[in-house]
């Protein structure tokens, strides 16, 4: 994990980096602010972020319209404390000492807004749990 006093970092990975991992990264950045470093990537990135994912995140007050899918690199995994995979199977490189989580979520690709809203809300709940675990809010 992160060095004492250092900011933890999380990498979200799905195949196309167009839906689930983008929504997870957006939720984490929105909910944790600057307490956690956030990355997302895909093993086979799509051409653009899923428009339904952009729409449902906008409904929640989060603008993902400027995001683009990014390729998963070994460096991205190496530089992250926690790697959260979402349906990418064995394509994520594994490094000793890293923490890996696999979130089983429906793929929003080709789904309507109603289905993507459900995935968005499932991701928010998982992200909130992750934040509470790795970077709990400090009370003054």
- Give which of 53, 47, 6 is closest to 27, Cα–Cα: 53
CA pair distance 62, 42, nearest whole angstrom:
21
Phi (first) and psi of residue 104, to 5 degrees: -85, 105
Q: Which strand (E) or helix (H) includes residue 11? A: strand 9-14
**Catalytic residue (one of 83, 92, 119, 134):** 92
Q: Strands 82-86, 99-102: parallel, antiparallel or unpaired by DSSP?
A: parallel
Query: Residue 88 catalytic?
Result: yes
Q: Is 83 among the residues known to form the active site?
A: no
Task: Count other Cβ atoms within 10 Å, centred on residue 95.
Answer: 12
Could you say which of 56, 88, 116, 119 is catalytic?
Answer: 88
SS3 content of the chain, % helix, strand, coil (to 5): 40, 15, 45
Q: Exactly one of 10, 13, 14, 56 is catalytic; name it.
A: 14
Residues involved in catalysis: 14, 88, 92
């Amino acid at each position: 994990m992160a060095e004492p006093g250092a900011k933890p970092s999380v990498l979200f990975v799905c195949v196309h980096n167009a839906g689930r991992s983008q929504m997870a990264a957006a939720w984490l950045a929105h909910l944790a602010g600057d307490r956690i470093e956030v990355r997302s990537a895909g093993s086979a990135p799509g051409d653009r972020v899923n428009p339904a994912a952009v729409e449902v995140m906008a409904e929640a007050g989060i603008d993902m319209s400027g995001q683009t899918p990014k390729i998963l690199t070994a460096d991205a995994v190496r530089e992250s404390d926690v790697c959260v995979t979402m349906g990418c199977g064995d394509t994520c490189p594994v490094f000793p000492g890293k923490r890996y989580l696999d979130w089983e979520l429906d793929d929003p690709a080709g789904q309507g807004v109603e289905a993507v809203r459900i995935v968005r809300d499932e991701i928010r709940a998982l992200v909130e749990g992750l934040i509470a675990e790795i970077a709990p809010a400090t009370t003054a």
